[in-house]
Structure 1
């Protein structure tokens, strides 16, 4: 089930995209939420912004954009969300080439990630347009027998309703892509990272609005459909890069 925004076209996270509702055409997402030792933090951020993100977004066909966030709550501190044309990009020869043969900086930093959640996912549904500087992240575990009901409720009711709230600008619903994730994990420097079955990303223009986007009533409604919240956090965007050139003011 893929939810549609006004006009019948679902936007990708943080931007409008011309996409159909079929599973084969859904955008892909690489989601990496991690901590890094404090003594490495400054170098880690410089590497991530100046090398790691650029190597993927600007050099691997099918990567569209990346955004990085820093957590405002306890838990993993840094989140990177990469948007791709589809999940197939994340098991493509071009992407696996840089995963299998990481550069020296990647070999330095990636093994030092800890408390890490790394997921290959697809965008099941999205609503709104634009992007917000603050993000509310909620990850879910499912009752497989009720997953379709949950997906319908989130795509058809929750997301469209959330983006109508003041200072909320966009919302996305992600589903883990198990096959594509397996290919990526099997060739990666790291192993044993955690995952999610579903994730919600709510974007807002203020921290307060982001924090208000998932309330006790939503948790209760999700629980009635067999879903359990496994993690949640409010984060602030700190860096972004798109494949297409952007005009500067």
Structure 2
């Protein structure tokens, strides 16, 4: 989401001091990490949960149903709101806390026809990811089946955790984008990814002990 310029400081204080902390007290919420898109006012938060069921608990229902006046005000002022919920398909490279605290997050979304999901997943896990991870700065890749989301109907999300933005210009990425397997898929009309890149913002917040 993108706050108005005049509310940016308030937005950040609210997100770090209220919005995330109340969720870290709800069952099934494990951690949250915020990001910012370079010098822009575009912000991202990635929440780790036990599963989408964490969004269906009475506790989370109360959080959503009884927001504070500040929350109402800020959410009414932001633009560009997006929200995607996914279940893990695969993980490659580093895992755990070290990966989740990487400096740069590169997110790739696709809308893949259901009858091509198996082929897409095989390419990503067997061809694309190994080549990217051949550069040590490409720390890890986590892929998700998007089970719900808006505003666009994506069903595949890959979160790439990077040591720096410069690895986007690496030989490893160039080779990963030039394989015959990728070329065959890229020739299909649906093969149009949506790409965004963010820098980590502040420390990761963890669930509060019950």
TM-score bracket for the superposition, by shorter chain length: 0.7 to 0.9
Matching residue of 1:61: 27
Inter-partner Cα distance in structure 2 for 1:195 and 1:110: 22
Cα distance, 1:206 vs structure 2? 1.2
- Tell me which of 102, 106, 114 is aligned to 2:79: 114
Matching residue of 1:156: 126
Q: What is the Cα-based RMSD across aligned positions, in Å?
A: 2.6
Q: Is the 8 A contact 1:149 1:225 kept in 2?
A: no
Cα distance, 1:73 vs structure 2? 8.0
Matching residue of 1:101: 66
Matching residue of 1:201: 159
Matching residue of 1:24: none
Q: What runs of 5+ residues in structure 1 fail to find an aligned partner?
A: 1-33, 182-191
Inter-partner Cα distance in structure 2 for 1:62 and 1:49: 19
Inter-partner Cα distance in structure 2 for 1:38 and 1:223: 39
Which structure shows the bigger proportion of residues in helix conformation?
A: 2
Cα distance, 1:87 vs structure 2? 1.4
Q: Is the 8 A contact 1:118 1:195 kept in 2?
A: no
Q: Relative to 1, partners in 2 of residues 1:83 and 1:105: Cα closer, same or farther, differing over 3 Å?
A: same
Q: Is the 8 A contact 2:92 2:141 kept in 1?
A: yes
Over 6 Å off, 4+ runs = none
Question: How many residues get paired?
Answer: 198
Q: Is the 8 A contact 1:69 1:80 kept in 2?
A: yes
TM-score (norm 2): 0.82
Deviations 1:120-163 (A, max 9, x none): 11121111222210111111111222112112222333334433
Inter-partner Cα distance in structure 2 for 1:214 and 1:89: 35
TM-score (norm 1): 0.70
Q: What runs of 5+ residues in structure 2 fail to find an aligned partner?
A: none
Q: Looking at CA atoms only, which structure, 1 or 2, has the larger radius of gyration?
A: 2
Matched, 1:47 2:5: no
Aligned to 1:138, what secondary structure does the other structure show? strand
